[in-house]
Amino acid sequence: MDKYISIKDLEDAALEVLPKATRDYYKSGATDEFTLAENKRAFQRIRIRPKCLVGIKGCELKTTVLGETVSMPIAIAPSAMQRMAHPDGETANVKAAQTKGVVYTLSTISTSSIEEVAEAAPNALKWFQLYIYNDREITKKLVQRAEKAGFKALLLTVDTPLFGVRRADVRNKFNLPKHLNLANFEGDMSTKIHESGEGSGLNHYVSGLFDKGLTWDAIKWLKSITKLPIVAKGVLRGDDAVRAVEAGCAAVLVSNHGARQLDGVPATIEALPEVVSALRGRDVEVYMDGGVSTGTDVYKALAIGAKMVFVGRPALWGLAVGGQAGVEKMLDIFRSELEYTLQLAGTPDVAQVTRDMVKHESEYAKL
């Protein structure tokens, strides 16, 4: 693992070893992939404004999210079907999160079950990503299983009445390899994803399963069946963030689904200020994901108002390269880069990373 010194190193190595269909599935975005590129480019348009001679005596990354202490404000985002990247899949990923003291989020569409993940890392801080199905009983049972297994929050995806058009998956007629199943389900719901039809097997799978008629009232229904805090994942507008909180969400995750849903939407770091502003004064946490690949990216998101930043693809790259050890290396890289950034910017703990620490490049262009 010592030869990997950046997330880009892990990505390059992973893309070399992954089979084409899996590689394309993990790395692709919707249609022309404009937003996919913008998720990263937008970070480059934000400048850090370091303070000098502040007397750096240490560096503290610990923070709390939904009342739980984490070692740093970086979490592992939900990503589907992780055993395509490594035989241990989600269980290796959650073990790494447990070792490094960060949140791990399990996808509904996982190749390791809720119970397998809970058993693999009983002391990890685990959240469960949830889709609401047409058959509410399916959703209810998933929630009950997650709660029983010790998961601490539900990450409800709100931007997916259906999956976006991912051309690479259509060209590859992507489907889950036959030796793997969707482990949280039984029967046809576990194996239907092996069928690609005329295009993507994933789109074929969710067709008819996801409830396209969802409104914010779904949050109220969800709260009626669980005591777990609910995080709305996929919000890009301030008014939607307010609706999520008024419906009962404890937090909002600013996300464009890794740029895999609707192309042409803003990069998440661009959408973050509007959401933070809309929720100012409310007792609610804001997180973000999308395009995060360096510690300085994390810093910029924290400065704009994110309480925690989720990383998805970087965890997959680490997983593909080295299983649990690869994911741990990924987290170590982020930690080291974030520590350097905090200290060099003159903000030795995350509480000091405030809005005045960054400016958009356009403000400097005025000079």
DSSP letters spanning 175-225: ---TT---TT--THHHHGGG--TTS-HHHHHHTTTB-TT--THHHHHHHHH
CA–CA separation, 27 and 22 (whole Å): 9
The mean pLDDT value of the chain amounts to 94
The per-residue pLDDT for 186 is 83
Q: What is the mean pLDDT of residues 140-164?
A: 95
Q: Residue 90 pLDDT > 60, yes or no?
A: yes
Domain 7-361, CATH number (from 1.10.390.10, 3.20.20.70, 2.40.50.100, 3.30.300.30) = 3.20.20.70
Residue 252, SS3 per DSSP: strand
Q: Is the pLDDT of residue 196 over 60?
A: no
Model confidence band, residue 195 (pLDDT cutoffs 50, 70, 90): low
Q: What is the pLDDT of residues 207-247, one digit of tens each?
A: 678 888 899 999 999 999 999 999 999 999 999 999 999 99
- pLDDT of 200: 65
Tally of CA atoms within 13 A in the half-sphere of 330 that contains its CB: 34
pLDDT of residue 198: 59
Q: What is the pLDDT of residues 307-321, one digit of tens each?
A: 999 999 999 999 999
The one-letter code for the residue type at 154 is: L
pLDDT higher than threshold 80 for residue 335: yes
CA dist 361 and 227 (Å) reads 43
Is residue 257 part of the annotated active site? The answer reads yes
- Place 192 in a pLDDT band, splitting at 50, 70 and 90: low
What is the per-residue pLDDT for 199? 62
Q: pTM score, two decimals?
A: 0.95
As given in the structure block, the two tokens for residue 184 are 């949280």
Q: Which residue has the higher pLDDT, 58 or 249?
A: 249
Give the contacts of 322 (CB within 8 A, at least 6 positions apart). 1, 329
- Give me the pLDDT at residue 7, please: 98
Which tens digit of pLDDT belongs to each residue from 10-38?
Answer: 999 999 999 999 999 999 999 999 999 99
pLDDT score for 204? 66
Looking at residue 194, its pLDDT comes to 64
Catalytic, out of 179, 194, 204, 257:
257
Name every residue whose Cβ is closer than 8 Å to that of residue 249 and which is 6 or more positions away in sequence.
Answer: 156, 219, 230, 231, 232, 284
**20-27 and 7-17 helices cross at what angle (nearest 10)?**
150
Which helix (DSSP H) or strand (DSSP E) does residue 64 occupy? strand 63-65
63-65 and 230-235 beta bridge pairing: unpaired
Q: Of residues 185 and 344, which shows the higher confidence score? A: 344
